[in-house]
């Protein structure tokens, strides 16, 4: 065995996928590895984390956060700018303009707490200033969920042994054998693959196992970070309680035919306005089968329509908790999160309370969720806002002197009309499959054919264009049409996606400058010059410094631009202006003379020279 292991290592075969890998074509940058999911998943559907590039060598004064979690952390169905990590990064960057802020998203669809623990060593290596965790929905049916594993000891042993190459080879062989005999429909969602026809009864052994494994793993994760002096922010999780009926309504203790007849009678009474009789019948059904979720949801509906919101909220939560297909975390998951935060000294972020506070009647529902648990843009912003407030309370990265108001930050969210259309298709794909009610569902991959945005979205869906190509074309179209605000939104979104692209930075900084956002333009030009120094970008840095009242800095910047091999006459003109602004007219006159020698026809050069000589008290030259 040892010889085989050594041979596999020497051959570089069956290596464990790292969490972070270099960005191709961008030296000095890392990104979450799109293939890291192969550590945990087998088969045709292997999810991975979003592309989220960051500098491999952490710069001084950088504030680096890492987010861990499942599909909601990853930002389904928007991804990219629609994720709460990107919204948080954007707002923190505006809060601390003199710091570089990176919020690195390692969220992966359908992962349980086992994977969070397994990835923690990789995260510690990139030196985060804090870790933010939004997780808990996948403890039953996520990968290594309690309903699909052989227990905590076996899972821990497997994840430990998986780091040996020979175990990786055997796993790959086993996965191939399973794939050959698989009967999984190509239209089956990841939810269907992971649940595999199972049900979890409220309070059952599997239910309790899920809670225990979540608490054990979350404790290992959180206390482990604490031992490494890394602050942790644990968030409670939220889901759609009001507008998502249980996927598995029951019954569990009554013959199905008899149950359906009695439920039908209760619903018929409600339909004809006899809510009193319907309530009595539903209460009787609950007494007969306390673990049945559907009748609790129906009763909560009656309370809701009657305006008894306290009772309705409790009923909706009880229905969700008893769903035999617990894709939404039950209330006890949040109890675990609160308990572990206290035990391990983590900051508790009550995201569920924030979502409720932002929902009509304080009951989370369709106003903030797209389906059973993934938020819409407003919902993701509430999550970002909750973490933002928690970071302020913790005085990270330093005591705060100002904050960006929520209303302003929400207006600046970078989700474009293209992102919104693509998200709609992803949601239709999900909800057109089990376990959702698929009656009257439109085809999942269709879009209205009209309009530039719809055409680009259709191309992305069909694979004819990448997201970045579509965004670039959309940005150019907006620019040509004079829609600067929309073009600027796209430019800022592309910067978040490709922070190593000088070209995207320059184009976006030009838009900011044209829109009068000079301080923000300065920061973007500075980053463009850091990525790939040039006289042209350094000149723009100097211009923005001069126009924002930082004339002394401007002189230094423009001097360095003048010394660069590709320096242009425009640099000399701007340097002379900066020297005049700082009370150095004699040197300004010498620079203006150099400009005229280099380019006698440069616009306004003669007037600038005359102004500099006048301020310096120098005589006019005689012809």
Residue 434: CB partners within 8 Å, gap ≥ 6? 188, 189, 191, 192
Q: Is residue 340's pLDDT more than 60? A: yes
Query: How large is the average pLDDT for residues 435-463?
Result: 78
Contact 558, 539 (CB under 8 A): yes
Q: Is residue 175's pLDDT more than 70? A: no
pLDDT for position 314: 98
Q: Are residues 27 and 142 in the same domain?
A: yes
Beta strands (DSSP E) in 94-252 are 100-105, 130-134, 232-235
Among 56-70, 71-85, 168-182, 213-227, the least confident range: 168-182
* 457 CB neighbour count, 10 Å cutoff: 26
pLDDT for position 192: 77
Tally DSSP H helices, then E strands, for the chain: 27, 8
Contact 457, 421 (CB under 8 A): yes
pLDDT for position 254: 81
Final residue of a structural domain among 321, 336, 362:
321
Q: List pLDDT tens digits, range 129-160.
A: 999 999 999 999 988 999 875 444 556 566 66
Q: Is residue 11's pLDDT more than 60? A: no
Domain that holds residue 157: 2-242+328-415
Cα(418)–Cα(174) distance, integer angstroms: 41
DSSP secondary structure string, 145-210? -TTSSS-HHHHHHHHHHTTSHHHHHHHHHHHHHHHHT----TT--HHHHHHTT----TTSHHHHHH
Q: Are residues 594 and 510 in the same domain?
A: yes
Q: How confident is the model at residue 618 (pLDDT cuts 50, 70, 90)?
A: confident
Q: Are residues 223 and 291 in the same domain?
A: no
Q: How confident is the model at residue 374 (pLDDT cuts 50, 70, 90)?
A: very high
For the chain, what is the domain count? Answer: 3
Specify if 249 maps to a domain.
no
Angle at 201 between CA 199 and CA 206, to 5 degrees: 85
Contact 539, 571 (CB under 8 A): yes
pLDDT for position 619: 81
Q: Are residues 298 and 347 in the same domain?
A: no
Query: How large is the average pLDDT for residues 262-281?
Result: 95
Q: Are residues 441 and 584 in the same domain?
A: yes
Query: How large is the average pLDDT for residues 18-44?
Result: 94
Q: Is residue 177's pLDDT more than 50? A: no
Query: How large is the average pLDDT for residues 80-105?
Result: 96
Specify if 289 maps to a domain.
yes
Q: Is residue 54's pLDDT more than 60? A: yes
pLDDT for position 588: 96
Final residue of a structural domain among 294, 321, 348:
321
pLDDT for position 147: 87
pTM given for the model: 0.90
Q: Are residues 345 and 265 in the same domain?
A: no
Final residue of a structural domain among 321, 339, 369:
321
Q: Which tokens go with 336?
A: 């675990």
Q: Is 566 exposed, middle or buried (CB count within 10 Å of its CB: 0-12, 13-18, 19+)? A: exposed
> For the domain that residue 200 is a member of, what is the CATH number?
3.40.50.1110
Q: Are residues 342 and 459 in the same domain?
A: no
Specify if 621 maps to a domain.
no
Specify if 248 maps to a domain.
no
Q: Is residue 166's pLDDT more than 60? A: no
Specify if 425 maps to a domain.
no
Q: Are residues 24 and 151 in the same domain?
A: yes
What residues does 102 pair with on adjacent strands? 64
Using alpha carbons, select from 95, 80, 125, 17 the residue that is nearest to residue 400. Answer: 95
Measured N-to-C along each axis, helices 535-547 and 518-531 cross at an angle, to the nearest 10 degrees, of 160
Q: Are residues 198 and 149 in the same domain?
A: yes
Q: Is residue 60's pLDDT more than 50? A: yes
Using alpha carbons, select from 53, 64, 63 the residue that is nearest to residue 98. Answer: 63
First to last CA, the chain: 94
> How many C-alpha atoms does 356 have within 13 Å on its Cβ side?
16
Contact 36, 108 (CB under 8 A): yes
Q: Is residue 88's pLDDT more than 80? A: yes
Specify if 380 maps to a domain.
yes
Cα(351)–Cα(357) distance, integer angstroms: 10
pLDDT for position 533: 96
Cα(526)–Cα(543) distance, integer angstroms: 11
Q: Which tokens go with 491?
A: 């430019």
Contact 51, 84 (CB under 8 A): no
Q: Are residues 99 and 220 in the same domain?
A: yes
Specify if 420 maps to a domain.
no
> For the domain that residue 299 is a member of, what is the CATH number?
1.25.40.10
Query: How large is the average pLDDT for residues 420-440?
Result: 89
Q: List pLDDT tens digits, range 275-325.
A: 999 999 999 999 999 999 999 999 999 999 999 999 999 999 999 999 999
Q: Are residues 34 and 145 in the same domain?
A: yes
Specify if 423 maps to a domain.
no
Q: Give the dihedral sign, CA 338/342/345/349.
A: positive
Q: List pLDDT tens digits, range 460-492.
A: 999 999 999 999 999 999 999 999 999 999 999
Q: List pLDDT tens digits, range 94-134.
A: 999 999 999 999 999 999 999 999 999 999 999 999 999 99
Q: How confident is the model at residue 181 (pLDDT cuts 50, 70, 90)?
A: very low
Q: Are residues 336 and 311 in the same domain?
A: no
- Computed over every residue of the chain, the mean pLDDT equals 90
């Amino acid at each position: 065995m040892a010889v085989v292991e050594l041979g596999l290592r020497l051959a570089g075969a069956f290596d464990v996928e790292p969490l972070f890998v270099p960005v191709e074509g961008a030296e000095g940058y890392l990104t979450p590895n799109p293939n890291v999911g192969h550590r945990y998943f087998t088969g045709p559907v292997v999810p991975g984390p979003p592309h989220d590039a960051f500098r491999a060598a952490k710069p001084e004064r950088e504030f680096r956060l890492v987010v861990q979690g499942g599909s909601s952390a990853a930002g389904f169905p928007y991804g990219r700018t629609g994720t709460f990590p990107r919204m948080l990064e954007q707002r923190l960057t505006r809060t601390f303009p003199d710091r570089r802020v990176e919020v690195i998203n390692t969220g992966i669809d359908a992962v349980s707490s086992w994977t969070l623990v397994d990835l923690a060593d990789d995260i510690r290596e990139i030196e985060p200033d804090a870790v933010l965790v939004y997780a808990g929905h996948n403890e039953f049916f996520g990968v290594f969920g309690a309903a699909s594993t052989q227990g905590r000891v076996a899972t821990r042993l497997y994840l430990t042994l998986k780091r040996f190459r020979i175990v990786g080879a055997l796993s790959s062989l086993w996965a191939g054998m399973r794939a050959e005999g698989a009967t999984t429909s190509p239209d089956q969602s990841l939810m269907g693959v992971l649940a595999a026809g199972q049900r979890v009864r409220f309070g059952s052994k599997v239910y309790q196992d899920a809670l225990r494994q979540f608490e054990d793993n979350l404790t290992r994760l959180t206390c482990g970070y604490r031992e490494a002096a890394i602050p942790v922010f644990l968030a409670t999780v939220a889901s759609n309680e009001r507008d998502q009926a249980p996927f598995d309504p029951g019954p569990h203790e009554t013959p199905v035919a008899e149950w359906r007849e009695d439920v039908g009678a209760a619903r018929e009474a409600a339909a004809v306005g006899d809510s009193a009789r319907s309530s009595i019948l539903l209460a009787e059904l609950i007494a007969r089968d306390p673990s049945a979720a559907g009748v609790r949801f129906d009763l909560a509906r009656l309370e809701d329509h009657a305006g008894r919101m306290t009772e309705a909220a409790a009923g909706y939560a009880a229905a969700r908790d008893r769903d035999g297909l617990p894709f939404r975390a039950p209330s006890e998951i949040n109890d675990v999160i609160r308990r572990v935060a206290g035990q391990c000294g983590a900051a508790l972020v009550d995201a569920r309370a924030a979502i409720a506070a932002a929902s009509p009647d304080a009951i989370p529902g369709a106003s903030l969720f797209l389906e059973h648990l993934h938020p819409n843009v407003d919902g993701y912003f509430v999550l970002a806002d909750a973490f933002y407030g928690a970071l302020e309370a913790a005085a990270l990265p330093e005591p705060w002197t100002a904050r960006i108001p929520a209303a302003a930050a929400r207006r600046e969210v970078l989700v474009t009309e293209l992102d919104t259309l693509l998200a709609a298709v992803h949601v239709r794909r999900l909800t057109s499959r089990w376990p959702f009610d698929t009656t009257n569902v439109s085809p999942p991959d269709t879009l209205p054919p009209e309009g530039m945005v719809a055409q680009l979205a259709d191309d992305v869906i069909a694979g004819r264009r990448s997201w970045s190509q579509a965004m670039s074309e959309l940005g150019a179209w907006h620019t040509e049409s004079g829609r600067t605000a929309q073009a600027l939104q796209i430019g800022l979104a592309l910067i978040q996606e490709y922070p190593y692209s000088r070209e995207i930075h320059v184009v976006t900084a030009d838009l900011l400058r044209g829109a009068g956002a000079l301080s923000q333009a300065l920061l973007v030009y500075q980053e463009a010059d850091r990525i790939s120094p040039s006289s042209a970008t350094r000149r723009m840095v100097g211009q923005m410094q001069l126009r924002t009242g930082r004339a002394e800095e401007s002189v230094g910047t423009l001097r360095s631009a003048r010394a660069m091999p590709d320096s242009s006459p425009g640099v000399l003109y701007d340097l002379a202006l900066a020297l005049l602004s700082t009370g150095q007219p004699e040197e300004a006159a010498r620079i203006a003379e150099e400009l005229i020698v280099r380019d006698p026809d440069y616009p306004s050069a003669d007037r600038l020279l005359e102004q500099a000589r006048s301020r310096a008290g120098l005589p006019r030259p005689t012809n």
